Amino acid sequence: MSEGMFEEEDFTPRQVDWRLWRRILGHLKPHPRAVITMTGCGAILAGVEVCLPLVTARIIDAASGLDGRERASEIPGWGMLYGVMLAIFALLVLLFIRAAGTLATGVAFDLRNGCFRRLQALPFGFFDVRSTGWLVARVTSDVTKVTGLLPWLLLDVFWGTSMLVGILIAMFSVEPGLGLAVSIIVPPLALSTWWFKRRMLLSSRRMRRANSRLTAAYNETIAGVRTTRMLAREEDAAAEFHEISGEMRSWSVRNALQSAVYLPIVMSLGSIGVGLALWAGGVRVQESTGLTLGTLIAFMQYAMLFSQPIQELAQRFVDLQNAQAAAERVQELLDEAPAIRDSEEVLAAIERQAATPVEGRAPDGGDPEIDTVRFDGVGHWYVEGERVLEDVSFELRPGTTLALVGHTGSGKTTIAGLLARWYEPTEGRILVDGVEYRERGLDWWQSRFGVVQQVPHLFTGTIRDNVRYGRLDATDDEVRQVLQRVHALDFVERLEAPDGGDLDFQVGEGGERLSIGQRQLISLARAFLADPPIFIMDEATSSVDAETEASIQDAVESILADRISVVIAHRLSTIRRADQILLLDRGRVVERGSHEELMAIDGRYRRLYLDQFVDEEERRLLS
């Protein structure tokens, strides 16, 4: 389990947030048939269960003939009815579980699609403060938790209330006095259920918290094996662990003890109900008020029937509270509005262009060609008050390369992110041919970029899938051509695996079956295939071997020749060749110029360059 700023699960109990649950129930709308089946089954089931004791009573009376008449001939009739009711019961079970399946899986499907769609639209700022594991859990386990509950909530609310009301109606219409006697057990039953379920809810939460501490402790034990031994603190660690496992033990035991008290109480109350029915009913039988033994037995059954619906209703209530945090997170994700999106004006322009296309215009109605991109006094912060970029200005033109140089955290990546409009500047402007880039279509602008990242990510799938990610309709020939250009075709053609080699080679999760250098080449090929007018490259220093690097250098150069390119540069070769170099320090441009100019100043750039030189050489020597 990964933990981070958003990770800690909230274990404190809260009130049931009915407004939230109403919205969650709203997701049932597309499945009206299943909802009707669920609720209908619940009600009919309750009806059958309430009527069964009465039918049994008729059978007993007919068989015993105690009311003085010979009614044995009625047995087959009542028996038949009894059998039919049981068959209906089984059929209803079949129906409602299937409907529950339709509901649970259907709503889960919709919610997952919704969440996934939303995640594709949210800006990077959203992802920066949330770990991937946390987000994955929203789409997977949280959705399961919420949707797994919904059908049973529906069923039990209808079944449980119908049962309670049904039993009361049946008892009071048959024999009000006896009904009253038996229903005395309902208030204590409901009260104790409410009291215990609440306590069990709390202790089960503490149990889960203890459990997550336990998992974290194991994680530490496993990952820190060497450190623990180096510090020779195995015994202290074992003692600390013993505390944590003890906490888990005590809360689990407490939870079990609560249920150990609760269940006997419920059973005893049921038995007392039977005794009450026997007493009040027996008196009536003795007084020959017409109450038959069969009916008496029916009331004794009713006494035992009360506890189940009360327990189920309480359990659903507990489930609601348990799933509330998950429901909140899922609903929040669905409600999260993308902070970066097209303005009304831009949307209108896109619509106009779509309705009446003007020849030679971009989809947003603007100029499709890009001649200059200008940063004009751009500043940025991710968290208010913590400025990461300040007053950065530069101009980009096709055929020129801008190199960004500086230490980690100096703002290089932020500049790239702003350029691609993954973030928007909090100060200053970014102008595309003189037009503020927020006045152009987001989709159009972002489709102008090719981005090659430092840690290249490949998707699970084949080499072909990954290269074609740059252009989905590329043919195998085109894929091979572009691989050839980045000098990757040789190694790709040598790839072999039982599940397919060459272009069919499965790269594994994140590309794990390839070396990082190979992944970089594939991601470069992918970007080249897309053929965009603007390139952003975030270089890595050491992942491609020197030979390959030299040969792809030419390819990169020929590709960048007539494009705008911004390189977050680490390699000296790249830095030297750039037309313009910005040296950044804590979000400010501290030196700018060409390599020769900057070396001549004998400032920070020179020192940084020489450091990098020594570093690269040492690395090469010791690899």
Footprint (CB under 8 A) of other proteins, residues 368-407: 407
**Amino acid identity, position 386:** E
How many other β-carbons are positioned within 10 Å of the β-carbon of residue 382? 16
Asked if 278 is part of the footprint of other proteins (rule: CB under 8 A), the reply reads yes
Residue spans of beta strands (DSSP E) within 322-434? 373-383, 386-396, 401-406, 427-432
Asked if 469 is part of the footprint of other proteins (rule: CB under 8 A), the reply reads yes
Q: Which of 44, 135, 503, 589 binds other proteins (CB under 8 A)?
A: 135
Query: Binders of other proteins among 333-362, rule CB under 8 A?
Result: none
Q: Which of 260, 339, 546, 561 binds other proteins (CB under 8 A)?
A: 260
Choose the stretch contacting other proteins; rule: CB under 8 A; options: 13-21, 238-246, 321-329, 380-388. Answer: 238-246
If the CB atoms of residues 164 and 274 are measured against other proteins, the closer one turns out to be: 274
Residue 461 per-residue DSSP state: S
Report how far apart, in Å, the C-alpha atoms of 237 and of each of 167, 209, 212, 231, 248 are.
58, 20, 17, 11, 17
Residue 141 per-residue DSSP state: I
Q: Which of 6, 127, 194, 195 binds other proteins (CB under 8 A)?
A: 127
H-state helical runs in 380-441: 412-419
Choose the stretch contacting other proteins; rule: CB under 8 A; options: 17-25, 290-298, 427-435, 557-565. Answer: 290-298
Report how far Cα 547 is from the mean position of its chain's Cα atoms.
Answer: 43
If the CB atoms of residues 275 and 377 are measured against other proteins, the closer one turns out to be: 275
If the CB atoms of residues 16 and 87 are measured against other proteins, the closer one turns out to be: 87
Choose the stretch contacting other proteins; rule: CB under 8 A; options: 36-44, 99-107, 168-176, 325-333. Answer: 99-107
Q: Which of 9, 20, 54, 112 binds other proteins (CB under 8 A)?
A: 112
Asked if 185 is part of the footprint of other proteins (rule: CB under 8 A), the reply reads no
**Amino acid identity, position 58:** R
Asked if 261 is part of the footprint of other proteins (rule: CB under 8 A), the reply reads yes
Asked if 195 is part of the footprint of other proteins (rule: CB under 8 A), the reply reads no
Asked if 132 is part of the footprint of other proteins (rule: CB under 8 A), the reply reads yes
Q: Report, in Å, the least distance between residue 369 CB and other proteins.
A: 18
Q: Report, in Å, the least distance between residue 362 CB and other proteins.
A: 14
Choose the stretch contacting other proteins; rule: CB under 8 A; options: 152-160, 356-364, 440-448, 558-566. Answer: 440-448
Asked if 618 is part of the footprint of other proteins (rule: CB under 8 A), the reply reads yes
Closest CA to 557 of 400, 410, 339: 400
- Measure the N-to-C terminal CA separation of the chain; round to a whole number of Å: 34
User: Can you tell me whether residue 89 is helix, strand or coil?
Assistant: helix
Are the C-beta atoms of residues 504 and 476 closer than 8 Å to each other?
Answer: no
Choose the stretch contacting other proteins; rule: CB under 8 A; options: 77-85, 314-322, 361-369, 490-498. Answer: 77-85
Q: Which of 16, 36, 72, 435 binds other proteins (CB under 8 A)?
A: 72
Question: What does the angle CA 341 – CA 342 – CA 347 come to, to the nearest 5 degrees?
Answer: 145
If the CB atoms of residues 16 and 546 are measured against other proteins, the closer one turns out to be: 546
**Residue whose entry in the numeric block shows the structure tokens 């013993």:** 242
Asked if 75 is part of the footprint of other proteins (rule: CB under 8 A), the reply reads yes
Asked if 315 is part of the footprint of other proteins (rule: CB under 8 A), the reply reads no
Query: Binders of other proteins among 470-529, rule CB under 8 A?
Result: 470, 472, 509-510, 523, 526-527
329, 339, 108, 201 alpha-carbon torsion, rounded to 10°: 0
How many other β-carbons are positioned within 10 Å of the β-carbon of residue 559? 20
Asked if 45 is part of the footprint of other proteins (rule: CB under 8 A), the reply reads no
Query: Binders of other proteins among 596-615, rule CB under 8 A?
Result: 602, 604, 607, 610-611, 613-615
Asked if 199 is part of the footprint of other proteins (rule: CB under 8 A), the reply reads no
Asked if 230 is part of the footprint of other proteins (rule: CB under 8 A), the reply reads yes
**Residue whose entry in the numeric block shows the structure tokens 């947030």:** 17
Are the C-beta atoms of residues 543 and 516 closer than 8 Å to each other?
Answer: yes
Q: Which of 180, 217, 318, 516 binds other proteins (CB under 8 A)?
A: 217
Q: Report, in Å, the least distance between residue 385 CB and other proteins.
A: 13
If the CB atoms of residues 20 and 122 are measured against other proteins, the closer one turns out to be: 122
222, 228, 234, 238 alpha-carbon torsion, rounded to 10°: -50
Q: Which of 293, 325, 334, 347 binds other proteins (CB under 8 A)?
A: 293
Choose the stretch contacting other proteins; rule: CB under 8 A; options: 190-198, 273-281, 498-506, 569-577. Answer: 273-281
Asked if 446 is part of the footprint of other proteins (rule: CB under 8 A), the reply reads yes
How many CA atoms lie within 13 Å of 434's alpha carbon, on the beta-carbon side?
1
Calculate Rg over the CA atoms of the chain. Answer: 36
Choose the stretch contacting other proteins; rule: CB under 8 A; options: 85-93, 319-327, 342-350, 485-493. Answer: 85-93
330, 335, 336, 342 alpha-carbon torsion, rounded to 10°: 150
**Residue whose entry in the numeric block shows the structure tokens 């038995």:** 271
Asked if 288 is part of the footprint of other proteins (rule: CB under 8 A), the reply reads no
From CA 452, how far away is CA 469, in angstroms rounded? 13
Asked if 268 is part of the footprint of other proteins (rule: CB under 8 A), the reply reads yes
**Residue whose entry in the numeric block shows the structure tokens 């800006």:** 123
Query: Binders of other proteins among 5-34, rule CB under 8 A?
Result: 7-8
How many CA atoms lie within 13 Å of 94's alpha carbon, on the beta-carbon side?
6
Query: Binders of other proteins among 539-558, rule CB under 8 A?
Result: none
Q: At what angle do helices 234-286 and 293-305 cross, to 10 degrees?
A: 160
Asked if 231 is part of the footprint of other proteins (rule: CB under 8 A), the reply reads yes
Are the C-beta atoms of residues 605 and 581 closer than 8 Å to each other?
Answer: yes
x/- binding map, residues 569-588, to other proteins, per CB under 8 A? -----------------x--
If the CB atoms of residues 460 and 551 are measured against other proteins, the closer one turns out to be: 460
Q: Report, in Å, the least distance between residue 19 CB and other proteins.
A: 28
H-state helical runs in 463-515: 463-468, 476-485, 489-494
**Residue whose entry in the numeric block shows the structure tokens 């309430």:** 50
Six-digit token string for 168: 């009361």
Closest CA to 179 of 187, 188, 170, 190: 170
Asked if 81 is part of the footprint of other proteins (rule: CB under 8 A), the reply reads no
**344 — phi, psi (to 5°)?**
-55, -45
